[in-house]
Chains A and B, each alone.
Chain A
Amino acid sequence: MAVEREQLEADVLIVGAGPAGLACALHLANLIGKHNDSSNSSKSGPPLSAENIYVLEKGREIGAHQLSGAIMNPKALAELVPDFEKSAPLDTPVTDDAALLFTKSSSFRFPITPPPFKNKGNYVVSLSKVTKWLGGLVEAAGVNVFKEFGGAELVYEGDGIAGVITEDKGLDKNGKPKDNYTPGYELRAKVTVLAEGTRGSLTKKLVEKKKLDNINPQSYGIGIKELWDVQPGRIAPGYVAHTLGWPVSTDMYGGGWIYGLSNNRVSVGLVLALEYANPQFDPHEAFQKWKTHPFLKNLLEGGKLVRYGAKSLPYGGWYAMPRNSVDGGLIIGDSGSFLDSQRLKGIHLAMKSGMLAAETIFEALQAGDTSSKTLSAFPKKIAQSYIKKELWQVRNFHQSFQHGMLRGFVHTAFQQITGGRGLIDPLLAHAGHEAYKKINGRPAPERFKGDGQLTFDRLTDVYHSGTRHEEDQPCHLHVADPNICATKCVEEYGNPCQYFCPAAVYEMAKETNGSLKLKISAANCVHCKTCDIADPYQIIDWVVPEGGGGPNYEGM
């Protein structure tokens, strides 16, 4: 049945109100404002207005789906909002940065903090709060931000894209319209900017369809985070520590973070590359175990869990950056691989990518040409900016660790002294899900339960993510062939979805006849996209659920 959709036209449509999308919107609105002020006498180009910039955000409000450590390098923000220190919720400047090596029962502080872990001049922030604040500036500039609307489909036109169709609202479990059914809108724009974050669901389709992949496939990690209120005196605001070692084994890549915020609040988390060999490895469990290390136990004991969340991040860097300009479209932020995998910093690069996109778009709108001919100025601007400078130095960094920490250190030592070139350049990568080794009949491990004080099971953590979805809606996790789950995957990999999902969405439930059947509790989903990334058969497709659904990462 063909659905009749309402159409709306914009100059620019930005999908996703994260740091990249909002920086793009604000910078573009500022450019337009300046242009309109100065060009009263000598009109050049078509009239432009910030009102013709639309931003879609699937979360309940701006910031609801934002999660990061976060240490923010304020470089890009200072360019975008020069007096940001007056009003931005920066929480606290970094005062001390430590690199810690963990064994199971002790910790060792590196006497000199390695340069990538140095954070003087940066801020410990809640990315959710910073985004919310930035969103306020964007709306005040006249940009239309549509909250609770996700991009469900791309509108293709010619060799590129011409807009987005938002998700249908008010469908029941079986896809039948309910009383409140509203078909998605067809939003057409001269330029559509994909700023969906890691593994954007539209970006994924566009990259596949238009073959925008770079020489390396994207590498991903998962970050799992808890926010705690701890006993007074346990941690100083601005204290920053990164941990290496236990419980992350040397054949894996990952580490922990401990960031002190103001008011005895602390952000703790573990980041792990999604390219490990054991398909029954459980990142959430590793994070919980990490918290039982004496160093963390001392910190957290007597404290209270405030929030929980998880998110994937793109590690691939320069050589995994998709071609980011097509006719009528640009890709920015985490969707476009703008993250420094060595320092694990992406906020400033995401914002800068958004700002350079804004400059590209502004020129294209003025020229009246938004084809890839003019939009291809975007990658050129990136190449001339500090984005390239930062990412080029670490272009081979993450690939070095695809075979574990030890080999990684050898590679990166050489990269350090050769400006990033190292022993092999470009160092090629394989997709993370190809790293799984078959279980060969190994029984399923027992699931981690948690003590309810320091450690938690996944359902308890999901509760603290504030995740909510309309219950009666079609499942937003499409599994191309559930038979594979019940037969092939049981045998070969023991259903890794049950282990890698940090929100207890996937479960192989025992039927009365003893066979296993995939059960998806989609309402638990925290939108981290790990399933879409880490499924061994690549048959899980994460699509946007009804807008407004998902976590509530206030303060994260």
Chain B
Amino acid sequence: MKILVVSELRQGKWNNASFETLAAAQQIAKATASAVSAVVIGKGVAPFAGELAVKDVAEVLLVEHDLLDAYTADGYCVALKQVMESAKPDLLLFPHTYQVRDFAPKLAAMLGKGMIGDCIGYRNEGGKLVFVRQMFQGKTAADVTFAGAAPWFASFQSGAFRADLLAAHPSGKAPVNSVSVSLSAAQIRTKPLDLFKEAKSAVDLTQAPLIVAIGRGIKAPENIPQAEALAKALGGEIAASRPICDEGWLPMERQIGSSGQTVAPKLYLALGISGAIQHVVGMKGARTIVAINKDANAPIFEIADYGVVGDIFEIMPALTEALEKSKSS
């Protein structure tokens, strides 16, 4: 059997799951007396192919093309299909990455083949390979085998195999063979833009020394800029209690409380927040709590160090103005 491992590079760096998959391939090869090759795809990636060649592989296939510089599912599928036509592997193994989830099923479908994704192991049952994948969040494991003829596709979950068990090449280095592929811009229907980072880490309220938090008392999203102006004047971050984020007036990562962030700033300014326990558990560790609320019976006053019973729409702009003034003088 011929096994081909499809390695993954992203922005000029290895995805380490590639090595884990290569280790898996070596183990399968040992159990089934097969040969392992690996393929490296991209542009200017020859050094990476060299890195794989020192591992115990029969050969490393190097696929380079201008149009493979940035990842596209179309580009990878067209290229890999040609690689398969020349290399004729029986089993293709992938690391189960986001990128692989994107293109590998498509490649398998192009060839009319099935794919077993996200496997955590395999067994060799008298020459027949059985792949193991998790179900019910890991509560059970299902055994899956291929019904049709080769080539077969499978991907391994990250962490399922140990990269440090990779065997080195017995005689130093395997050959690196270039495979030229023909690929035209017309075949690639997607246009990759800049990579973006997840917005999650955009704001870290837990590190903010000053927080201005708004609650239902803010009444309408049009009034939020007033609170933001105050936060800016104080040099603090804006945050909110749950109803505000529920309404989508502020993003969820700015929510303080039992279902949001837990914070302990030096100053917590609570504007129009009633102080339901769900909110209080997220901010009671603040060193100084200042609360402004119309309702003198609002529970927030029980934990506030300073409280103002009053209208936030009078106090917010006045505070902002006073702060700006003291800064300029």
State A521–B244 Cα separation when bound (angstroms): 12
Select from chain B the residue with minimum beta-carbon distance to A459: B276
Nearest opposing residue in chain A for B255, CB measure: A471
Which residue of A is nearest B221, CB measured?
A512
Report how far A449 CA is from B220 CA in the complex, Å: 25
The CA-CA distance from A460 to B242 in the complex, in Å, is: 14
A8 and B246 alpha carbons, distance in the complex (Å):
37
Q: B135 touches which one: A185, A449, A460, A462 (CB < 8 A)?
A: A185
A146 interface contact, C-beta 8 A: yes
Provided the pairs A449-B297, A463-B258, A521-B246 are in contact, do residues A148 and B278 lie with their beta carbons within 8 angstroms? no
Q: If A8-B135, A144-B140, A471-B252 touch, does A460 touch B277 (CB 8 Å cutoff)?
A: yes
Q: Tell me, in angstroms, the Cα distance from A312 to B252 when the chains sit together.
A: 32
Q: A468-B259, A521-B246, A523-B259 are in contact. List 8 more A-B contacts (CB 8 A).
A: A6-B142, A149-B136, A185-B136, A449-B297, A463-B278, A468-B258, A512-B220, A519-B246
Q: Would you give the shortest CB distance from B273 to chain A, in whole angstroms?
A: 13
A445 at the binding interface (Cβ < 8 Å)? no
Q: Which residue of B lies closest to A520 (CB)?
A: B246
CA distance A99 to B299 in the complex (A): 37
- Across the interface, name the chain B residue whose C-beta is closest to A461: B277
Question: Are B258 and A452 neighbours in the complex by a CB distance under 8 Å?
Answer: no
Residues in chain B near residue A521, CB distance under 8 A: 242, 246
Contact A146 B297 (CB under 8 A): no
Decide if A6 touches B277 in the complex (CB within 8 Å): no
Q: Which residue of B lies closest to A507 (CB)?
A: B243
Write the chain A residue with the least CB distance to B247.
A519
CA distance A519 to B244 in the complex (A): 12
Q: How far, in whole Å, are A8 and B219 apart by their CA atoms in the complex?
A: 50
The interface of chain A, by Cβ under 8 A from chain B, is: 6, 8, 144, 146, 148-149, 185, 449, 452, 459-460, 462-463, 468, 471-472, 512, 519, 521, 523
Q: A452, B252: Cβ atoms under 8 Å?
A: no
Bound-complex Cα distance A6 to B141 (A) = 12
In the complex, the chain A residue whose C-beta lies closest to that of B278 is A463
How far in angstroms is the closest Cβ of chain A from B142? 8
Nearest chain B CB to A548's CB is how many angstroms away? 9
A459 touches B246 (CB 8 A): no
Tell me whether B128 is interfacial, beta carbon within 8 Å. no
A149 (CB) vs chain B CBs: closest residue: B136
Q: Which of B25-76 contact A (CB under 8 A)?
A: none
Distance to closest chain A CB from B299 (angstroms): 7
CA distance A449 to B295 in the complex (A): 13
B interface: dominant SS:
mixed
A459 contact from B135, B139, B278, Cβ within 8 A: B278
Q: Which residues of B contact A460 (CB under 8 A)?
A: 276-277
Residues of B that sit less than 8 Å from A by CB: 135-137, 139-140, 142, 219-220, 242, 246, 252, 258-259, 276-278, 281, 297, 299, 302
* Known interface pairs A459-B278, A512-B220; A452-B299 also in contact (CB < 8 Å): yes
Q: Which residues of A contact B297 (CB under 8 A)?
A: 449
Q: Determine the chain A residues whose CB is within 8 A of the CB of B252 once the complex forms.
A: 471-472
Residues of B within 8 A of A512 (CB): 219-220
Alpha-carbon gap, A471 to B278, bound state (A): 14
Residues on B with C-beta less than 8 A from A148 are: 137
- Within the complex, what minimum Cβ distance (angstroms) separates B116 from chain A? 12
Docked CA distance A519–B248 (Å): 13
A455 to chain B, nearest CB (A): 13
- The docked-state distance in angstroms from the alpha carbon of A149 to that of B137 is 10
> Which 10 A/B pairs are nearest by Cβ-Cβ distance?
A463-B277, A459-B276, A460-B277, A146-B136, A512-B220, A463-B278, A471-B259, A146-B139, A523-B259, A6-B135
Q: Which residues of B contact A459 (CB under 8 A)?
A: 276-278
A144 to B135, CA, bound (A): 12
Q: Which residues of A contact B299 (CB under 8 A)?
A: 452
5 example contacts (A-B, Cβ-Cβ < 8 A) are as follows A144-B140, A185-B136, A459-B277, A459-B278, A523-B259
**Chain A positions within 8 Å of B220 at CB level:** 512
Smallest CB separation, B316 vs chain A (Å): 19
Chain B residue at minimum C-beta to C-beta distance from A466: B258
CB distance from B100 to the nearest CB of A (A): 14
A47 to chain B, nearest CB (A): 19
How many Å lie between the Cα of A471 and that of B246 in the bound state? Answer: 9
Q: Which of A144, A460, A463 counts the most chain B CB atoms within 10 A?
A: A463
Q: Which residue of A lies closest to B257 (CB)?
A: A463
A452 to B275, CA, bound (A): 12
In chain A, what residue has the closest Cβ to B280?
A463
Q: Which residues on the A side are within 8 Å of B276 (C-beta)?
A: 459-460, 463
Q: Closest CB-CB distance, A351 to chain B, in whole Å? A: 25
Residue ID in chain A nearest B299 by CB atoms: A452
Q: Min CB distance, A18 to chain B, in Å?
A: 20
The complex places the Cα of A314 from the Cα of B196 at a distance, in Å, of 53
List the B residue with the shortest CB-CB distance to A173. Answer: B248
The smallest C-beta distance from B259 to any residue of chain A, in angstroms, reads 6
How far apart are the CA atoms of A472 and B248 in the complex, in Å?
Answer: 12
Interfacial chain A residues near B259, Cβ < 8 Å:
468, 471, 523
Question: For residue A456, which residue of chain B has the nearest CB?
Answer: B277
CB distance from A447 to the nearest CB of B (A): 12
- Who on chain A is nearest to B139 by CB? A146
Q: How far is the CA of A146 from the CA of B258 in the complex (A)?
A: 27
* Nearest CB in chain B: distance from A147 CB, A: 8
Closest A residue to B140 by beta carbon equals A144
Which residues of chain A come closer than 8 Å to B246, judged between CB atoms?
519, 521
* Nearest CB of chain B from residue A306's CB, rounded to whole Å: 14
Nearest CB in chain A: distance from B24 CB, A: 22
